[in-house]
């Protein structure tokens, strides 16, 4: 099967396969600055002409901060996610071109701009926004801002944070930021 060959190709190029506790797999390539993941969900379009690769991009420091702050997310919170569509069927794109499309996406990634965006999120951000906000503040050592959040919480002002964010999240972010 072509997908199995593609997975073998990734492995031969230094991508590592990992499987989480739920049995979901991904392919990961990392260095000291970035972590690239291709999720083991390859989706063919209904007409069989395209395949979609789900990819994420993160930074080791950001992922570590998000894991510590949230205490419950094994895979962390990626900074950026994309879906790359490639031709399929009779004219399968050579494997190296698939990898090149992924690496091209990565080359256009601006880590500092994404961290700026997360740092600027309002405290009332929904979903994973608060974790990403606190993680960006923590890895950029913005302890005084996090300390202001802690003091507000102590005074009974939640600053619009979603319900799952409690003072423990803020304390963990603060400790990382001081580090």
d(CA 143, CA 24): 36
For the ranges 25-39, 59-73, 78-92, the lowest mean pLDDT is seen at 78-92
Please name the residue that has the structure tokens 């991904």: 26
Rg (CA), the chain: 19
Has residue 90 got a pLDDT over 60? no
Mean pLDDT, rounded, for 46-73: 84
Domain ranges across the chain: 2-109, 115-178
The per-residue pLDDT for range 133-173, each reduced to its tens digit, is 999 999 999 999 999 999 999 999 999 999 999 999 999 99
- b/e for 107-131, b at 16 or more Cβ within 10 A? eeeebeebbeebbebebebeebbbb
The model carries a pTM of: 0.83
């Amino acid at each position: 099967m072509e997908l199995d060959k593609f997975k073998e190709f990734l492995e031969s190029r230094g991508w590592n396969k990992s499987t989480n506790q739920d049995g979901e797999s991904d392919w990961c390539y990392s260095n000291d600055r970035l972590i690239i993941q291709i999720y083991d969900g390859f989706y063919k379009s209904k007409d069989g002409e395209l395949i979609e690769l789900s990819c994420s991009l993160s930074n080791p420091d950001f992922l570590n901060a998000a894991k510590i702050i949230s205490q419950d997310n094994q895979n962390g919170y990626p900074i950026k996610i994309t879906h790359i569509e490639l031709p399929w069927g009779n004219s399968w794109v050579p494997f190296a071109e698939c990898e090149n499309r992924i690496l091209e996406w990565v080359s256009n990634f601006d880590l500092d701009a994404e961290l700026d965006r997360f740092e600027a999120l309002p405290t009332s951000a929904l979903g994973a926004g608060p974790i990403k906000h606190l993680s960006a503040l923590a890895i950029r050592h913005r302890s005084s801002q996090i300390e202001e959040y802690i003091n507000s919480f102590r005074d009974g002002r939640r600053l619009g944070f979603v319900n799952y964010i409690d003072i423990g999240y803020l304390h963990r972010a603060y400790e990382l930021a001081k580090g």
